[in-house]
Structure 1
Amino acid sequence: MTRDRILAAAAEMVHSFPTWDWGALTIRAVARRAQVNESTVYRYFSNERRLRDAVMQRLVQEAGVDLEGLRLENFGDVIGRMFDYLSSFPIASTPVDDPTFTGLDERRRAALVAAVAAAAPDWSDQESELAAAMLDVFWNVSSYERMTVTWKIDPARAASAVAWVIRALHTSIRAGDRPGAPGGPVDQG
């Protein structure tokens, strides 16, 4: 079916993008990739927004994510599937050329690992690193922007929510609830 061929070609394109910037996912480029005329793509998708929405829906289905059926108790499994799926995409990390930022990032990572290791001295280096990485998720501009821009949460409430999550992580660390423990959401076994 032509619509499926167009979506397959568009999904292949997205899988080759080094970032999630879909600027190159145009009707013209997809038509070329699917070896159809642009008018054929327009027959199924009246504009690029509709094409991109259909491609995103296909990617979500490929990842095995069911947003309508999402429950807190299965969220860890959903994230596991999502991370597994995302690993099939190329990752183009944008290296920071500024030694000030690189140095701060290295010091922050070392400080977080040391803090976790002090709280859980019997943990392996890998376990301490995983827990520190989870804490680091909240200590960056992207998390702040996601909460304050995407979710439209004021900065004070965002800070309060992050403090709540960090307390929960701290409680888990103190209780010896190791990241990736059997039966946990990271366990794919």
Structure 2
Amino acid sequence: MAALVEEGGGQEPTNRAVAERAQVTEVTVYRHFPSRELLLKGLWEHLNRKDGVRVGMPESPADLLAKIGPLMASFDASPAQIIGRITTQQGRAARSSLDPERREAFQAVVAQAAPGLAEGEQTKAAAVLQLLYSAYGWISLREQWSLTGKPAADALGWAVEVLLADLKSRGAASIAPDPFAQFTQSTFQPES
């Protein structure tokens, strides 16, 4: 499938075309990849390995910060392939095959950083953190600001640190008891 995608043509390769290219039966393709989503996920993982993107999803706020530099370095090592993955129909389809895992990973990072944060706020924070940790953030810094390598990783790392610190303070504030609640209830009792 990787070869068929690289050859282009604008259309996503069918399972039949993949089977013919691999010189196996279509049933064999389905045995290893029972759904289109799994085939695309397999393609994404193969392309990442091939291009040196071995960073993976973050497992904690600290892990997120530690992985930004290596992730950006892997994007800088093969920019044409990375750009192709986010600008072509095939690349976006393969990338989207990991969306459930991606959402789960970033939701978990936010839950660790700010356990008391409201669910809607957690989703917004996870989405922004994931954007900063993606090829979309990388390409924006590269194309609009001419930042690559360490300066790009530093900028994204700084943004992630600031957001995580803010989330931590918001999360703590939302689960901390209101220091004035008891005072207001006991002091200002209406007279009968």
Q: Normalised by the shorter chain, which TM-score bucket?
A: 0.3 to 0.5
> Between Structure 1 and Structure 2, which shows a larger proportion of helix residues?
2
TM-score w.r.t. structure 2 length? 0.39
Identify the structure with bigger relative contact order (alpha carbons < 8 Å, sequence gap 6+): 2
If the length of structure 1 is used for normalisation, what is the TM-score? 0.40
Find the structure with the greater CA-based Rg: 2
